[in-house]
DNA sequence: CATCTCAGTTGTATTACATCA
DNA sequence: ACTGATGTAATACAACTGAGA
């Protein structure tokens, strides 16, 4: 959103790389979520394990402590044990199951019991590199076919589901941004139209004054240079020429006709402007 | 029926800011 | 007045859910 927040986000991502040995230990480090987020806990942990066995759940290698220098080797994935109904979980991992050979599930670390009993789901942050590559890919195509998804997931060392979710959220953000822009444009447009309307109303009042002014008060016409040759059409209230004789009221009233009435809005009127 | 996308929601991490000792 | 700890609101975002195509 704002620059400040963007800064915050980037700072957050940086922490993933810079936190070093402390990564993933305890609360507070983004690294914890990045390197250890897959360490779900408590009852959910068991649930997750069941899931993994059931679907040969893919768990790329993971070690506790200092992450590899290669940020892409830091697996930004975790298993969400909360709010995970079985059908959803099955669906969620469908693409993984369908197309990937999974290594044995054995990479859980020793302190996986860290939040046993808390039921908290850990927050994942993609690494800067992963985000950048996803962004690049999104620029090329905002949706992915299964093959692309698989390839990207493999490349980024993420689960296909994560790639899928990232694209979903990314599309949503894009749409939201576009909507905000559209809204802003419409808002400005509305303001302009309101101003214009106000101005035209004022002008109309002035013209009505002219029309209904007694003929014995010629000075009022002097306020409008072309007024002496103009009159107001009673049906459409447009200015028409009384002397030019051309019949082209638009041209004749040009000095006063700032914004021609949209004919489509008046189409149902018996006295259309064209009738003048 | 399986799969995908989307809109809406949830939960966590992070930051800025205010308050207090 | 300055400083560090603490609480809180706001925000970003990954992940989930359910509906509809």
Angle between helices A128-140 and A146-156 (to 10 degrees): 160
Residues within 7 Å (Cβ) of strand B: A 4, 7-8, 11-12, 15, 27-33, 82-83, 91, 94-95, 98, 119-123, 125, 143-144, 146, 164, 168-169, 171-172, 175
pLDDT on residue A183: 83
Nucleotides of C under 7 A from a protein CB: 11-18
Q: How far is the CA of A9 from the C1' of C12 (A)?
A: 7
Give the tens place of pLDDT for each residue, A149-159.
999 999 999 99
Rg, chain A, Cα only: 34
What is the distance in angstroms measured between the alpha-carbon CA of A113 and the sugar C1' of C9? 31
Which DSSP string corresponds to A107-147?
---TTGGGGTTT-PPPPP---HHHHHHHHHHHHH-SS--HH
Q: How far apart are the first and last CA of chain A?
A: 53
Rounded to two decimals, the pTM is: 0.52
pLDDT score, position A239: 53
| Geometric angle at alpha carbon A223, from A220 and A227, rounded to 5° | 85
CA distance A156 to A127: 10
d(CA A207, CA A205): 5
DSSP structure string for A150-164: HHHHHHHT--HHHHH
User: What CATH class is the domain A12-176?
Assistant: mainly alpha
Domain ranges of chain A: 12-176, 216-276
- Which nucleotide lies closest to A13 by the C1' atom and the CA atom? B14
- pLDDT of A211: 84
Question: Which residues in chain A show pLDDT less than 50?
Answer: 1-119, 220-229, 234, 237, 241-276
Please identify residues in chain A, positions 195-214, with a C-beta within 7 angstroms of any atom of strand C.
none
Point out the nucleotide closest to A76 (alpha carbon to C1′). Answer: C14
- For helices A128-140 and A160-212, what crossing angle results, to 10°? 60
What is the pLDDT, as a whole number, of residue A162? 93
The answer to whether some atom of strand C lies closer than 7 Å to the beta carbon of A2 is yes
Per-residue pLDDT tens over the stretch A74-130: 344 443 333 333 333 334 443 443 333 333 222 323 233 333 344 456 667 899 899
């Amino acid at each position: 959103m704002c620059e400040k927040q963007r800064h915050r986000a980037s700072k957050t991502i940086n922490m993933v790389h810079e936190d070093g040995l402390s990564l993933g230990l305890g609360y507070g480090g983004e690294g914890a979520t990045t390197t250890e987020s897959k360490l779900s806990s408590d009852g959910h942990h068991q649930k997750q394990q069941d899931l993994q066995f059931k679907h040969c759940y893919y768990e790329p290698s993971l070690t506790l402590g200092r992450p590899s220098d290669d940020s892409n080797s830091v697996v930004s994935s975790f298993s969400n044990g909360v709010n995970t109904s079985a059908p959803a979980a099955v669906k969620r991992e469908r693409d993984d199951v369908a197309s990937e050979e999974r290594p044995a599930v054995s990479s859980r670390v020793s302190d996986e019991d860290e939040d046993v009993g808390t039921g908290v789901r850990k927050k994942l942050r993609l690494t800067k590199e992963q985000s950048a590559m996803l962004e690049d890919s999104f620029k090329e195509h905002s949706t992915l076919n299964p093959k692309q998804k698989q390839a990207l997931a493999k490349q980024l060392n993420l689960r296909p589901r994560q790639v899928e979710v990232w694209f979903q959220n990314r599309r949503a953000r894009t749409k939201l941004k576009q909507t905000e822009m559209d809204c802003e444009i419409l808002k400005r447009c509305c303001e302009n139209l309101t101003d214009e309307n106000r101005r035209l109303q004022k002008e109309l009042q002035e013209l009505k004054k002219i029309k209904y002014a007694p003929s014995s008060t010629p000075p009022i016409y002097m306020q409008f240079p072309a007024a002496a040759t103009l009159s107001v059409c009673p049906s459409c209230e447009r200015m028409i020429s009384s002397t030019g004789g051309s019949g082209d009221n638009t041209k004749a009233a040009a000095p006063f006709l700032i914004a021609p009435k949209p004919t489509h809005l008046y189409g149902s009127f018996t006295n259309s402007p064209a009738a003048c």
